[in-house]
């Protein structure tokens, strides 16, 4: 429902002077009513002709477009010749969309063994303000700001500018964002089929970090490449390994080995996504810590390496996803190597496998620019009336295993089976129900658990 109409006001100001050459015996020509042009009254062939002044156009837009958020745009055009690469002198532009995200979780637990801290309850999982758009201020660029609250802390999910269309480098992105490792982490939290990413990614993959990254699609958008350099100091992330004094280099390659996507008939979509990523971390006095919750943000951490003194570390990850109409199957494997200062090499790892099925016929949409999945749009939104439907219904199951024990570091091993039922009433309203069971062994605490959790989410 659109709550208001956009108001677009255009103002056009044209200033020009015209030099008219008159014969001495002739009267100067009459000036047309309302004209901004003026003619000289004496003829002087040697006098220079006045050059036309630049014509400028100023436009602005400020409108609320319902679920699509607040739209803003300011644009000024100038009639100028522009021949410099990447430089735009003919336009000044600032456009964007202001929106937000609100998610509320509730969870209940049943545990045995010596597991502690599993307190059932309800919490505000995310409350974010999002601003994204594009601008031209000398050079064209895109920007995104995604900040807000997650339990007990302020969170910066994204804060960056991106300059597109750089020769050989594609898009340059600078700021703080999620590094390109881990398919479920590269995919927006709004677009993964279960409430939280798989435990191996939470523990081992890098968290949101400050840095710079280049990359682009290639092979007619059947593949992507990304290369980035990141520093530590990104603050507390929602998940991902924590590092201190370790500089990180991360690369990722993806390929659509099967590419048969039909936008008009999503039930016929067929694709096979393959990906490989890796990182290298180096420092003379670095620290690294890997830990994970049991795929519930209300639950406590159950596996944890503690802080490890390390001068080098690396991770390699492989990812694959198959989509055939409403069916999708996805999995990832990660292996981490940590060179513990003065104590040799430690090895940690994990994997997950997931399958989902849209009961209402939708198919998982794929983003060719990022090599990741996007948010599903129901074939028929939930509502009342002849054109209304039930929205989109999705059933999901995922198994994950994470091992953070090696040598003198006994962080524990976590096995989890999580199932889910998702109801996408429309693209901006989601209800999720997850039921799972798992066990923890070889860590500070050991035992089994049953998890029942639900989420209501609004995105605009």
Tens of pLDDT, residues 118-131 = 999 999 999 999 99
Closest CA to 187 of 178, 199, 176: 178
pTM: 0.83
Specify the pairing of strand 308-324 against strand 270-289.
Answer: antiparallel
On average, the pLDDT of the chain sits at 86
* Residue 64 CB contacts under 8 Å (≥ 6 apart), including other chains: 2, 3, 4, 70, 71
Phi, psi of 202 (to 5 degrees): -60, -35
- Answer whether 411's CB lies under 8 Å from 304's CB: yes
Residues 391-404 as b/e (b if ≥16 CB within 10 A, e otherwise) read bbbbebbbbbbbbb
The whole-angstrom separation of Cα 255 and Cα 398 is 23
Considering only residues 51 and 291, tell me which one the structure prediction assigns the higher pLDDT: 291
The pLDDT-based confidence of 21 (bands split at 50, 70, 90) is very low
* Residue 354 CB contacts under 8 Å (≥ 6 apart), including other chains: 193, 194, 198, 329, 330, 331, 396, 397, 398, 399
The whole-angstrom separation of Cα 158 and Cα 54 is 39
pLDDT for 265: 78
The whole-angstrom separation of Cα 329 and Cα 261 is 16
pLDDT for 237: 75
Phi, psi of 440 (to 5 degrees): -120, 130
The whole-angstrom separation of Cα 59 and Cα 96 is 14
Could you give the domains of the chain? 1-18+52-79 (no CATH), 83-459 (2.40.160.10)
pLDDT for 260: 94
Least confidently predicted of 179-183, 226-230, 282-286, 347-351: 282-286
Least confidently predicted of 87-91, 94-98, 180-184, 323-327: 87-91
Instruction: Locate 236 and state its tokens.
Output: 């507390």
E strands along 297-428, which residues? 303-304, 308-324, 327-340, 344-358, 366-367, 372-373, 392-406, 409-426
Phi, psi of 185 (to 5 degrees): -85, -35
Q: Please say if the pLDDT value at position 379 is more than 70.
A: yes
The whole-angstrom separation of Cα 363 and Cα 382 is 17
What would the mean pLDDT of 360-379 be, rounded to a whole number? 94
The whole-angstrom separation of Cα 409 and Cα 303 is 11
The pLDDT-based confidence of 233 (bands split at 50, 70, 90) is low
Least confidently predicted of 60-64, 88-92, 255-259, 305-309: 88-92
H/E run at residue 284: strand 270-289
């Amino acid at each position: 429902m659109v709550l208001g109409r956009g108001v677009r006001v255009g103002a056009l100001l044209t200033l020009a002077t015209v030099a008219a050459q008159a014969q001495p015996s002739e009267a100067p020509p009459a000036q047309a009513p309302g004209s901004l042009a003026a003619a000289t009254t004496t003829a002087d062939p040697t006098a220079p002709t006045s050059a036309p002044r630049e014509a400028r156009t100023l436009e602005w837009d400020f409108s609320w477009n319902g679920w699509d958020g607040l739209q803003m745009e300011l644009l000024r055009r100038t009639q100028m010749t522009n021949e410099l690469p990447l430089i735009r002198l003919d336009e000044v532009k600032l456009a964007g969309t202001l929106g937000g995200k609100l998610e509320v979780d509730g969870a209940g637990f049943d545990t045995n063994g010596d597991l502690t801290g599993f307190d059932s309850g309800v919490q505000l999982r995310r409350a974010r303000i999002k601003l994204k758009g594009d601008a031209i201020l000398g050079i064209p660029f895109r920007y995104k700001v995604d900040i807000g609250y997650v339990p007990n802390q302020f969170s910066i999910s994204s804060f960056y500018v991106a300059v597109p269309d750089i020769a050989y480098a594609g898009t340059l992105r600078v700021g703080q964002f999620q590094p390109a490792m881990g398919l479920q982490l590269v995919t927006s939290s709004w677009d993964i089929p279960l409430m939280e990413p798989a435990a191996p990614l939470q523990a081992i993959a890098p968290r949101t970090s400050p840095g710079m990254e280049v990359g682009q699609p290639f092979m007619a958008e059947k593949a992507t490449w990304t290369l980035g350099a990141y520093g530590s100091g990104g603050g507390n992330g929602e998940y991902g390994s924590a590092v201190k004094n370790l500089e990180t280099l991360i690369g990722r390659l993806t390929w659509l080995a099967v590419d048969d996507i039909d936008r008009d008939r999503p039930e016929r979509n067929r694709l096979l996504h393959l990906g490989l990523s890796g990182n290298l971390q180096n420092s003379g006095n670095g620290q690294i810590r890997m830990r994970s919750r049991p795929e519930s943000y209300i639950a406590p951490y159950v596996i944890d390496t503690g802080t490890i003194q390390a001068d080098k570390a690396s991770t390699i990850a492989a990812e694959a996803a198959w989509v055939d109409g409403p069916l999708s199957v996805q999995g990832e494997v990660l292996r981490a190597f940590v060179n513990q200062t003065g104590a040799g090499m430690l090895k940690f790892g994990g994997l997950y496998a997931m399958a989902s099925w849209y009961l209402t016929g939708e198919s998982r949409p794929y983003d060719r620019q990022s090599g990741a999945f996007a948010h599903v749009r129901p074939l028929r939104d939930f509502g009342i009336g002849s054109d209304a439907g039930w929205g989109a219904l999705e059933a999901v199951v995922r198994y994950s295993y994470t091992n953070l024990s090696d040598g003198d570091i006994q962080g524990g091993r976590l096995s989890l089976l999580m199932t889910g039922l998702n109801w996408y009433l429309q693209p901006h309203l989601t209800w999720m129900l997850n039921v799972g069971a798992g066990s923890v062994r070889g860590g500070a605490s050991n035992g089994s658990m049953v998890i029942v959790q639900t989420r209501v989410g609004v995105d605009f």
